[in-house]
Structure 1
Amino acid sequence: MVSLFTAFSISNWMFQTRIHDIVYDGLLTDGQKIIQAYQSTPSAELVPFMQHFSGYSGNLLQLYKKDREPLLQEIEPIHVDPRDIELVLANNITRTLDANIHSIPMVGIPLQINGEPYAMFISLQHNRVEEELMHSIHVLYMLILFFGSFLILIAARYVVNPIRRLTEATKKMAKGTFDREGLSTKRKDEIGQLSISFHEMAEELTKLDQMRNEFVSSVSHEIQSPLTSITGFTKALKQKKLSEEVRLKYLTIIEEESERLSRLGQNLLQLSYLQQDHHPLKVRAYRLDEQLRRIVITLEPLWKAKEIEMDVEMEGIAIEADQDQLDQVWINLLSNAIKFTPPQGMIRIRSTENAHHVVVSITDNGIGIPEEERAYIFKPFHKVDKARNSSVKGNGLGLSIVKQIIDLHHGDIHVSSSLGTGTTFSVTLNKKNVLSRQEDEK
């Protein structure tokens, strides 16, 4: 509204100033022609001659002598400031406005008759048509100002309302409430894009908050369970009537639960370490097939205890990677395969390569993973429901650590499974570009 009013005032002032300049020039030219016409008619008397031209062609005339009294009979009154009369009598040309009607331009022209100074003022006669036209223009300006302001207010509300809703949602979000109600919009402009982006951010924050709550709940559960066992069996050990066999059994349980807590703490620390930004990898070249065979031998007590057959078929493959981190990957994947493979089952390890990539697959013939669970197995503390029993140890962090390590190596891990048949984990790694990518990141 301020802008429209300012534009109206400036345009009106510029219009009037330009019109006045044009009118001044026209009045000055007409006045000089009247004086020349009088001077070219020696027999004409001044007052009747000027009286004859007053009102002619829409011009009004008035003459003044030293006594400043008007000499012509006025068709319409011309109001002249006495100071302007003095200036014109002093042989100056003046451009001024009517003293009472400030919108009427007026020009004062000096005139010498028989050595006596006169002041002739020429102005415009009132024109009803022009007045109505100017009035109409001013009314039009006011209508433009009113309707323009009204439309701008509507447009401003159209723009501001979604921003206001976003502001309220931001305040709620700052307090931990990720409510997305009222944020949806069909607009395609920048405000619409902002609303869509904010809605997507709110969804992601909601998921992140749910993951955080689930993570805290899972950590609490994983810690509370062994602590409850340790506390219970410690109290039981205080009884003096326990046999040595029972006492050793309780101590063994306490030892196992303590180790479980220790593994949980180590896994949490490792997962947190892997999730840090700019995590450094100690990359070097080594033989991947030799590493896998060493891991199989390391875990031999586990798979031999269940009489599992290990079918290992690998070619000599060289790779550039962090050997210690990939040790953890193969240990976790192979340990899971051993856990869920039934006694006298089989685990197959295969590796293939091309010019740029290596694919390692570990396949078991265990219980399998339900399809609805596969999208979540790499999340911390996630356990497949069928694996939630006391005979299968684990805290649900192993595959999360595997996924983090594979991601750090710019690789990929894929799982395929069918219930009752088995599961295959396939790991794809770059053979030689890990070192170059590390250098690029530095």
Structure 2
Amino acid sequence: MVSTWMFQGQKNQFIEDALLKDGKNIIEAYQSNPSAEVGPFVQSFSGLSIYSIQLYDTAGKPLLKENEPMHVEQSTIKKVLDGSIARNLYANGLPMVGVPFVVKGDSYALFLTLDQQTVKQEQASMPWVHAVYILILFIGSFLILIAARYVVNPIVQLTAATKRMAKGTFDSASLPLHRRDEIGQLSVSYHEMAQELAKLDQMRQDFVSSVSHEIQSPLTSIVGFTKALKHKKLSEESRLRYLTIIEEESERLSRLGQNLLQLSYLQQEQHPLKITAYRLDEQLRKVVITLEPLWAEKEIHMDVDLEAITVHADKDQLDQVWINLLHNAIKFTAPQGTIRIQSMEKAHHHIITVTDSGIGIPEEERSHIFEPFHKVDKARSSSVKGNGLGLSIVKQIIDLHQGEIQVSSNLGIGTAFTVTLPRKNQ
């Protein structure tokens, strides 16, 4: 309907041009045979043409017989008789034109329009055309519906998965992961994000569980021994032993709180480092001397091999790294064992290695030792103190310095931690 309305004017103009052309052809045909009577001559064309033709004389009277009367205003006829071409006329709703026709000095007006019978026949076939249009509409709509569902269904699935994720369910198995188009890429990206979020959620749950366990254990001891101290029939020796345990468990809680605060502080994205230039070898020697009571008590042999190295780093933070690494080495090294500390300078890096002859770390545990509260099973005993946060803090500090830390270990032989720092960290 819109297209018909838009092109109606062009269609009428095209019909008028065709009518004018055929009218001029009739006139030219008569002029080539001027001896014929004009009325019968034009009448013969009326029967052979798809047009309805009427010829008016000087008095404005029609000269031709016609099946359907052609209603033309006398003013229009007079205009054509005066030698003008008439356009933009309509007979029974159909375009019509008038052409002046001069025969032997007499003026005639020749009018042409489309034959109504022919138009009716054409219109009779229109329902079939409309039926085809409707069929095309339904088939096209059906195909578009299928295509739309092919495109929209994955979006619906993604939306449902997003709502499930908002409720804490990280399930993306129903997504179209094997599609090669943009929706498939989006589904794969969503699946990967869901997996990472599931891991983070599991880590969060494990973290909360570990913190609860680490806090509950010393609190239970403190509460239990505090209740025991309320009994008056306690020897002085038992009272001092209970107080000592309460003191140790309180210190354990204090260390846990300090480590949690430090780990949270280090995990902040905008954590500032106080970069200074200082001698790394001197710092390592001071750490060894600071921890001398611990390794001397176990008669551990300390092998220190340090090159003179100047680093640009946060001295206080790296102090914590070396203290934690050396403290762990002392903790898991048997009496009369050996701990070796080495430092060397490469073209672009400083390399520091802390090696012990301790119990070692199982291969399946090595990828998890830098996670908060992770403890190697062999270390889970009352004789070995710790809350599993030391190596997490070490990893955070090394990452902040854009360095790397690696571990290699053999069960029953020992463990080596290798720290690599860039030569200049501005």
Superposition TM-score, scaled by structure 2 size: 0.89
Task: Return the alpha-carbon distance in structure 2 between the equivalents of residues 389 and 68 of structure 1.
Answer: 126
**Percent identity of the aligned residues?**
65
Quick check: 2:60–2:77 contact (8 Å CA) kept in 1?
no
Unpaired runs of 5+ residues, structure 1, are 1-8, 436-442
Using a 3 Å threshold, how does the CA distance of structure 1 residues 50 and 184 change in structure 2: closer, same or farther? Answer: closer
* Maintained 8 Å contact 1:62/1:70: yes
Give 1:322's aligned residue: 314
Counterpart in the other structure of 1:292: 284
Structure 2 distance, partners of 1:35, 1:199, is 81
Residue 332 of structure 1: aligned partner: 324
Partner in structure 2 of residue 305 of structure 1: 297
User: Which moved further from structure 2: 196-205 or 24-33?
Assistant: 24-33
SS at match of 1:182: coil
Which amino acid is 1:106 matched to? Answer: M
Query: Paired residue for 1:185?
Result: 177
Partner in structure 1 of residue 212 of structure 2: 220
SS at 2:118's partner residue?
coil
Shift of 1:30: 1.5
Given candidates 414, 423, 432, the residue that maps to 2:415 is 423
- Give the structure 1 partner of residue 88 of structure 2: 95
Which amino acid in structure 1 is aligned with residue 392 of structure 2?
A: S
| 1:312-391 to 2 correspondences below 5 Å | 312-391=304-383
Give the equivalent residue in structure 1 for 2:112.
Answer: 121
Partners in 1 of 2:162 and 2:274 — Cα distance? 42
Task: Name the SS for the 2:405 alignment partner.
Answer: strand
Residue 275 of structure 2: aligned partner: 283
| Paired residue secondary structure (1:389) | coil
Where does residue 246 of structure 2 map in the other structure? 254
Alpha-carbon displacement from aligned partner over 1:249-269 (angstroms, at most 9, x marks no partner) = 111111111111111111111
- Shift of the 229–148 alpha-carbon distance from structure 1 to 2, 3 Å rule, reads same
Contact 1:62 1:78 in 2 (8 A): no
Cα gap change, 1:376 to 1:109, in 2 (>3 Å) = same
Shift of 1:424: 0.6
> How far apart, CA to CA, are the structure 2 residues paired with 1:157 and 1:361?
60
Q: Deviations over 1:191-242 (max 9, x none)?
A: 0000000011111111111111111111111111111111111111111111
Contact 1:412 1:429 in 2 (8 A): yes
Distance 1:68 1:242, change over 3 A: farther
Aligned CA distance change for structure 1 residues 420 and 88 (closer, same or farther; 3 Å): farther
> What is the deviation of 1:24?
2.2
Q: CA deviation at 1:94?
A: 2.3
The structure-2 alpha-carbon separation of the partners of 1:96 and 1:290, relative to structure 1 and needing over 3 Å to count, comes to farther
CA distance in 2, matches of 1:40, 1:345: 131
Identify the residue that residue 438 of structure 1 maps to in structure 2: none
Root mean square deviation, CA, Å: 3.0
Q: CA deviation at 1:120?
A: 1.7
Q: 2:165 aligns with which of 135, 149, 173?
A: 173
Out of 85, 88, 96, which is 1:106 matched to? 96
In structure 2, relative to structure 1, the CA distance for the partners of 1:337 and 1:43 (3 Å cut) is same
2:269 partner SS: coil
> Any idea what SS the aligned residue of 2:373 has?
coil
| Cα deviation code 1:332-391 (max 9, x no counterpart) | 011111110011111111112112101111111111111111111101011111111111
Query: What is the distance in 1 between the residues matched to 2:61 and 2:236?
Result: 141
Please report the TM-score for the alignment, with normalisation by the length of structure 1. 0.86
Cα distance in 2 for residues equivalent to 1:67 and 1:243: 150
Identify the range of structure 1 (352-361 vs 109-118) with the bigger mean alpha-carbon deviation. 109-118
Give the distance between the partners of 2:54 and 2:204, measured in 1 at CA. 94
The total of aligned residue pairs comes to 420
Structure 1 205/69 Cα, relative in aligned 2: closer, same or farther at 3 Å? farther
**Runs of 5+ unmatched residues, structure 2:** none
How far apart, CA to CA, are the structure 1 residues paired with 2:376 and 2:307?
Answer: 33
The structure-2 alpha-carbon separation of the partners of 1:241 and 1:71, relative to structure 1 and needing over 3 Å to count, comes to farther
Letter in 1 for 2:314: D
Letter in 1 for 2:243: L
**Given residue 52 of structure 1, which amino acid in structure 2 is its aligned partner?**
S
Letter in 2 for 1:210: Q
Q: In structure 2, what residue type is equivalent to 1:22?
A: F
Q: Does 1:34 align with 2:26?
A: yes
Following the alignment from structure 1 to structure 2, what is the Cα–Cα distance between the partners of residues 390 and 89?
125
Cα distance change on mapping 1:273 and 1:20 into 2, 3 Å = same
- The one of 186, 195, 198 aligned to 2:190: 198
Q: 1:153 to 1:248 in 2, by over 3 A?
A: same
User: Aligned in 2, Cα 1:37/1:384: closer, same or farther, shift over 3 Å?
Assistant: same
Equivalent residues of 2:96, 2:111 under 8 A apart: no
Contact kept in structure 1, 2:54 and 2:70, CA below 8 Å = no
